[in-house]
Amino acid sequence: MMLLLALALLSARPAAAQGVPAPDTLASRVLACTACHGREGRATPQGYSPRIAGKPAGYLANQLLNFREGRRNYPLMASLIEHMTDDYLREIAGYFAAQDIPYPPPPPPQAGAQVLVRGEALVRQGDAARGIPACAACHGRALTGVAPSIPGLLGLPRDYLNGQLGAWQAGQRRAQAPDCMADVARRLAPEDVGAVTAWLAAQPVPGGGKPAAALPAPMPARCGGVVGAGVSP
């Protein structure tokens, strides 16, 4: 935490050196976030900290609450926000949700053609025989998320996607009950995870990554923290 705060303070030094007080704005306060999540929340090349710019505000707020309340396990994040109020966390979430930053082109595919075909099939169609819904059934046909609380899956590094699915499988990442993603992740075999993340990471982000306003059909399962989406009977 101290490293992040120090980096934020360093960013404000030029103004202070000229005798001009650094402005007390939300943009200046969230500089600590950008030390890991990249300038304006656009992510960094390392591949382990996700992009937060342009994500649905409700989703970002839920994740901040999950870190603060221990449902997601990352001590650095937890210590940074442990004393922040719900309203302030929502204000931070709203700031990053409003950032309209272009996505870079995707990296070359990191798997062979057959693996990518399998990944796309799981993303688009799921596997009904094993109770695995299509990713697109919840994250939107364009896979850019759904406002206000479902995240997009494109424009994220494969290492990050692998890490999060593994964290759900191991119980290290949780969400508000009912935790639908934990249930889905535990139904995925290791080769499924590899195929899905390889395909997702290789896709360009359509429409500037803007989340859809609504899902075209009810969700296949009820998910905690998801607002305004119907569920199939």
Structural contact between residues 8 and 26, judged by C-beta atoms closer than 8 angstroms: no
How far is Cα of residue 1 from the mean position of the Cα atoms in its chain? 21
Question: pTM of this prediction?
Answer: 0.87
Q: At what angle do helices 190-201 and 113-125 cross, to 10 degrees?
A: 90
Structural contact between residues 42 and 63, judged by C-beta atoms closer than 8 angstroms: no
Instruction: Calculate the CA dihedral of residues 205, 164, 137, 89 and round it to 10 degrees.
Output: -80
Per-residue tokens: 208? 């500037």
Position 44 scores a pLDDT of: 82
The per-residue pLDDT string of the chain (233 residues; one tens digit each, 9 = 90 and over) reads 333 433 343 343 444 445 667 678 999 999 989 989 999 999 887 778 899 999 999 999 999 999 999 999 889 899 999 999 999 999 999 999 999 999 999 999 999 999 999 999 999 999 999 999 999 999 999 999 999 999 999 999 999 999 999 999 999 999 999 999 999 999 999 999 999 999 999 999 999 999 999 999 999 999 998 976 666 65
Position 8 scores a pLDDT of: 42
